[in-house]
């Protein structure tokens, strides 16, 4: 995936990104992809985040708290203690993890394959955030109404890469100003894209 450098930004930054988190009607569902990528599309190094930006992690917590999140096994293992994020029900796509252990986490569910994951999403309402990894992004992208992206203005050593998002059918609706991470001294910015014709979940 190609990522614009900070010098090439041209879209207005207002309104706030959170203005795109519109109120959902009772029973309504919205699939939202959330990813942090470098200029070469890198998203991870084995079972670790590519670059844990402090402010970006705080933003992830603020955006997803109370909502359902979807992760694969490796993404789950990248969380602190290899445990789910507190305050968020998890749908975990994995054929190897223990279903009983996953079910013990607050309203969470193990999905051994894509059909069972799509069924689990269809049985839930509200915002469902897709947090990765690469295979989960690739399989669920057609069903996502929005993609919330963090673009890191650097090429980092990555073992896992984001999918190539198609230009057709997706529109950038918001792009934020550039920020500088004090720890890594790297620049980054946020972008929100919307998919005009996301596929409906199978029923």
- Among 19-23, 46-50, 57-61, 193-197, the minimum mean pLDDT is found in 46-50
**Which secondary-structure segment (H or E) carries 37?**
strand 29-37
Q: Is residue 13 part of a domain?
A: no
Within-domain flag for 85: yes
Q: How many domains does the chain have?
A: 1
150 lies in some domain: yes
Q: Are strands 187-195 and 179-180 parallel, antiparallel or unpaired?
A: antiparallel
Looking at the domain assignment, is residue 135 inside a domain? yes
For the entire predicted model, the pTM comes to: 0.88
Q: What is the pLDDT of residues 56-92, one digit of tens each?
A: 889 999 999 999 999 999 899 888 888 899 999 999 9
Q: What is the mean pLDDT of residues 44-66?
A: 84
The candidate with the shortest Cα–Cα distance to 90, out of 62, 114, 56, 124, is: 124
Question: What pLDDT is stored for residue 10 in this prediction?
Answer: 36
- Is residue 17 in a domain? no
**Residue 180 maps to which CATH number?**
3.40.430.10
- Strand, helix or coil for residue 186: coil
Residue 6 is assigned to a structural domain of this protein: no
Q: Quick check: 12 pLDDT over 60?
A: no
Residue 118 has pLDDT above 80, yes or no: yes
Asked, for residue 18, whether it belongs to a domain, the answer is: no
Domain that holds residue 166: 27-195
Provide the Cα torsion 71, 73, 75, 80; round to 10°. Answer: 110
pLDDT above 90 coverage of the chain, percent: 58
Domain assignment present for 12: no
Q: Which residues contact 71 (CB under 8 A, 6 or more apart)?
A: 90, 91, 92, 93, 131, 132, 133, 136
């Amino acid at each position: 995936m190609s990522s614009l450098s900070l010098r090439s930004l041209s879209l207005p930054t207002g309104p706030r990104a959170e203005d795109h988190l519109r109120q959902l009607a009772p029973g309504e569902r919205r699939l939202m992809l959330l990813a942090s990528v470098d200029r070469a599309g890198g998203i991870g190094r084995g079972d670790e985040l590519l670059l844990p930006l402090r402010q970006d992690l705080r933003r992830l917590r603020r955006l997803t708290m109370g909502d359902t999140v979807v992760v694969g096994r490796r993404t789950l293992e990248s969380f602190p203690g290899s445990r789910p994020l507190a305050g968020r029900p998890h749908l975990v796509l994995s054929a190897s993890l223990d279903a009983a252990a996953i079910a013990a986490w607050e309203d969470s569910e193990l999905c051994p394959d894509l059909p069972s994951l799509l069924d689990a999403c269809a049985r839930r309402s509200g915002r469902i955030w897709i947090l990765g990894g690469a295979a989960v992004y690739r399989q669920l992208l057609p069903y996502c109404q929005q993609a919330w992206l963090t673009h890191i203005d650097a090429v980092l050593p990555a073992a896992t890469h984001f999918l190539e998002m198609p230009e057709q059918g997706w529109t950038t609706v918001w792009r934020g100003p550039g920020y500088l991470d004090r720890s890594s001294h790297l620049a980054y910015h946020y972008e929100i894209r919307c998919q005009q014709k996301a596929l409906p979940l199978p029923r």
